[in-house]
Amino acid sequence: MRQVNVGIVGLGNIGTGTMTILAENADQIALKLGFPLKVTAVCDLLIDSKKIPEALGPVVRTANWREVTSDPNVDIVVELVGGTTVASEIIHAAIDNGKSVVTANKELMAACGPEIWDRAINAGVNVAMEASVCGGIPIHAVLREGISGDRIEAVYGILNGTSNFILTEVEKHGTALETVLAEAQRLGYAEADPSADVDGLDARSKLAILSALAFGAKITPSDIYVEGIRRITPTDFDYARQLGHTIRLLCAARQTPEGLILSVRPALIPLKTILAGVRGSYNAVWVKGHYGEDTFYYGRGAGPRPTGVAVVSDLMRVAREIRNGSPQRVSPFAHARLNEYKPVPVTIQRRAYYLRFRVKDRPGILATLAGILAQKKISLEAVLQQPYDDKSDLPFVITVEPTSEQAIREAVEEMSKLDFLTQAPLALPMEPLL
Amino acid sequence: MRQVNVGIVGLGNIGTGTMTILAENADQIALKLGFPLKVTAVCDLLIDSKKIPEALGPVVRTANWREVTSDPNVDIVVELVGGTTVASEIIHAAIDNGKSVVTANKELMAACGPEIWDRAINAGVNVAMEASVCGGIPIHAVLREGISGDRIEAVYGILNGTSNFILTEVEKHGTALETVLAEAQRLGYAEADPSADVDGLDARSKLAILSALAFGAKITPSDIYVEGIRRITPTDFDYARQLGHTIRLLCAARQTPEGLILSVRPALIPLKTILAGVRGSYNAVWVKGHYGEDTFYYGRGAGPRPTGVAVVSDLMRVAREIRNGSPQRVSPFAHARLNEYKPVPVTIQRRAYYLRFRVKDRPGILATLAGILAQKKISLEAVLQQPYDDKSDLPFVITVEPTSEQAIREAVEEMSKLDFLTQAPLALPMEPLL
């Protein structure tokens, strides 16, 4: 069969990884497809400084993306520019020119995925976005095909490699989070402005896409409660371990009788669960299906080559569909019946909570705190206090039985006014994951 | 679009799970597909005793499978009979009648997958077999689509839930394996004849399919070295733990410069790897890709509903292709260049080994064993001996540095003649998995 031609816009890390795989693995790709997949055009603002693998053969090189999206020779446009402005223009231009699109753009797909899909369906072309979430983990293929027959009840994920690296370094070495973060920045693992990673914003975009696919609903980042990891200390890992738990930046999307509860926040998770074994910069997704029960997916969350595999695998699928006649499509965001999955505020969730206090020690503290909990009808489960030298900034922990997040927030607000606290209480949900 | 009609042959556990999902989840399935998927015929030898979900509506019920494979109304035949005789007839009849096939049959696909695929391609129909390996884990979708752009270097798996349940019970409680097995049989978790599970034969069929898909080569069970778990004792878990390892029935398919090395055998694996966290009846697959690095997949290995999800997800994909015009296919067993991946004997592999002895204690034992190892040019790494009361049947362990399996086998054969041994030495490879 005739080859399918690819134009790549954006030759950064992922673009380079993608070109490497398409060049080096061309034979196996052609054997799997039954026809060759050829890069025929590449575009980058700094095109003159970019090295293109010779094995790709002759390609059009340009700094103007419109030369790719309007190239009659190009069948599929790969958008690897990132961001939501130019990337959006590129994708819309490609679709309007009857070309299918492969993208790694999580911000854009999180914000505008359903609209882009509708436009592509109307134009009779395909959109593929495996690389937009958890680079090396084929979670889109899993949700779209592998377990498409299931009815998904919950998706849990560790979706940001940098924050997981930081947390697991704190866990392993007992070093303060700021120190680990500074070291990660020095080594180039964390950005100079680490906010997207440590404040949960990157993970939130990814959860928006995953939960939209899992529940077939329109979900945007603003539907998701987000809280970062900056307040987590080595002491919190010590206490969590005493409770048989560890702490991760947990992305959670759960269907409940009230609606979808969506959050990205540090949470205690049981040590015995396989999610607790996810360390370093790895990503993982845990899916709970009504019929298939628990499945779990793990791999590199980023990196030019793992993310390149996602782009190339998408290209192969889209190319196969192009050669076999582009089928009628259903948007992956559109299988929920109206209002079946409606995001609701996280404040209605019921969970056990871990409350960590830092106090100037003096008599009566526990009585005061317990009094506030009792007043909010929250039942105390356990009090943990390790020996600690500094009585002027003493950390200790109260865990409480399952209660509403609303009650916990009210209690924490009240407690925050108390003069013996050296900082506001830290409240983390304990996720049973079972 | 017009509905796609399904005929199910074999209404055992998986057939029942499949019907349940197709009945209960029909709305969501139709929304995802854009058309309904309908069961129109069901077949079982004991059809009169079978309960068919009412929500499926009117269906043809028969005890004669030919009424399903020749039914002009049926688009896809689901073969859930198992075994390699009647099942093979059913699949061939369906293909010859121009119907696509969905199957959960691991023995048949392990033995005859490539031939069945070739026949289906010639007939212009599809074959889907997600349910044949690791019921609840969508590993076929992952290999076929999710990471199809990668070049796979190794596949490791825990593919038999029963033996993993038995091993992890021995690990957890220190109970003898025979006792755990007997209890599992009493509870119905293990068969009266447990050989397929504990001797590794079931896992071997699954590894044959997985490695054929991963490497695009024809691999049959007889290409795979197999060794069961019956000789593993609680003491082995104690020694393994001292070495930072645990023991699992590990399925391994690795590309090496010499060829493909394939084995199903108990092996020591590092405790810090995520594979060591796979407990109970769960299955897991670890894929090492040249570009995508490590990915890991975990879920229920069996059960009517998890396996039913695999069948239904396959049905949805095949139905979509039928409605969109059946595309030209490439057999998933056919992307390797000739002889690129050739199975070679496991005896050439180099690994560190764990050698466990049981001896009637007396002076000179270690010197004798060390002498044999030296003679085979095997370097000793460590000697471990726990305090033990019974000096007439004393277990202890020698670990050796990486050496060839051939040398280990020769040493073990020589050692087996020694009169101070109460049983032949147990040799387990230590798999670095890294």
pLDDT at residue A337, as a whole number: 61
* DSSP 8-state class, residue B125: -
Tens digit of each residue's pLDDT (9 = 90 or more) over A405-427: 999 999 999 999 999 999 999 99
Tell me the CATH architecture of domain B4-135+304-323: 3-Layer(aba) Sandwich (3.40)
Tens of pLDDT along A31-53?
A: 999 999 999 999 999 999 999 99
Task: In whole angstroms, give the CA distance from residue A94 to residue A103.
Answer: 12
Contacts of B61 (CB under 8 A, 6+ apart): B41, B42, B43, B47, B50, B52
Please state the rounded mean pLDDT for residues A279-290.
96
How does pLDDT run across A116-134, given as a tens digit for each residue? Answer: 999 999 999 999 999 999 9
A87/chain B closest Cα distance in angstroms: 24
Q: Which residues pair with B309 in a beta bridge?
A: none
Q: How far is Cα A89 from Cα B93, in angstroms, rounded to an integer?
A: 52
CATH of domain A4-136+304-323: 3.40.50.720
CA distance linking residue A5 with residue A40, whole number of Å: 6
pLDDT, position A68 = 98
- Which residues in chain A are contacts of B341 at CB distance < 8 A? none
**B298·A300 Cβ contact <8 A:** no
The listed CATH number (3.40.605.10, 3.30.230.10, 3.30.360.10, 3.40.1130.10) that belongs to domain A140-301: 3.30.360.10
Alpha carbon distance A251, B114 (integer Å): 41
Per-residue pLDDT of B103-153, as tens digits, reads: 999 999 999 999 999 999 999 999 999 999 999 999 999 999 999 999 999
Chain A residue numbers with beta carbons less than 8 Å from the beta carbon of B2 are: none
User: How far does the CA of residue A272 sit from the closest CA of chain B (Å)?
Assistant: 8
ipTM of the complex: 0.93
Report the alpha-carbon distance of residue B2 to residue B322 in Å, rounded: 11
Report angle CA A301, A277, B313 to the nearest 5 degrees. Answer: 60
pLDDT of the residue at B333: 80
Q: What percent of chain A has pLDDT above 70?
A: 98
Residue A317 sits at φ, ψ, to 5 deg, of: -65, -45
Is the model's pLDDT at A334 over the cut of 70? Answer: yes
Task: Give me the residues of chain B with pLDDT under 70, please.
Answer: 326-327, 335-339
**What pLDDT was estimated at residue B342?**
86
Cβ–Cβ under 8 Å, residues A175 and A169: yes
DSSP A152-199: EEEEEEE--HHHHHHHHHHHHH---HHHHHHHHHHTTSS-SSTHHHHT
Domain(s) labelled CATH 3.30.360.10 in chain A stretch across 140-301
Strands A343-344 and A350-359: unpaired
Q: CATH 3.40.50.720: which residues of chain A?
A: 4-136+304-323
Rounded to the nearest 10 degrees, what angle do helices B177-186 and B161-173 cross at? Answer: 130
pLDDT computed for residue B208 by the predictor: 96
Task: Verify whether residue B377 is a known catalytic residue.
Answer: no
Find which of A148, A282, A433 to mutate to test the B interface (most B CBs within 10 Å of its CB). Answer: A148
A365-394: average pLDDT: 93
In this predicted structure, the answer to whether residue A328 has a pLDDT above a threshold of 90 is: no
Catalytic residue among A206, A342, A360, A377: A206
pLDDT at A339: 57
**Whole-number Cα distances in Å, A167 to A246, A303, A399, B206:** 10, 19, 21, 37
Nearest Cα neighbor of A248 from A185, A156, A340 is A156
Question: B140-300 has which fold?
Answer: Dihydrodipicolinate Reductase; domain 2 (3.30.360)
Report the CATH superfamily, name and number, of domain B350-430.
ACT domain (3.30.70.260)
Q: How far apart are CA A36 and CA B330, in angstroms?
A: 13
Tell whether the model's pLDDT for residue A340 goes beyond 80: no
Looking at residue A194, its pLDDT comes to 95
Q: What is the pLDDT of residue A338?
A: 53
Q: Is A17 on the interface with B (CB under 8 A)?
A: yes
Which pLDDT does position B292 carry in this prediction? Answer: 96
pLDDT at A239 over 80: yes
Q: Does B153 touch chain A (CB under 8 A)?
A: no
Point out the least confidently predicted range of A4-8, A174-178, A388-392, B420-424.
Answer: A388-392
**For residue B388, what pLDDT is reported?**
80
pTM: 0.94
pLDDT in tens, A186-199: 988 888 999 999 99
Q: Counting Cβ atoms within 10 Å, is residue B363 exposed (0-12), middle (13-18) or buried (19+)?
A: exposed
Identify the pLDDT of residue A336: 67
Please identify, in words, the CATH class of the domain defined by A349-430. Answer: alpha beta
Intervals of CATH 3.30.70.260 along chain A: 349-430
* Tens digit of each residue's pLDDT (9 = 90 or more) over B399-427: 999 999 999 999 999 999 999 999 999 99
Q: Which residues contact B312 (CB under 8 A, 6 or more apart)?
A: A148, A149, A150, B18, B21, B22, B25, B29
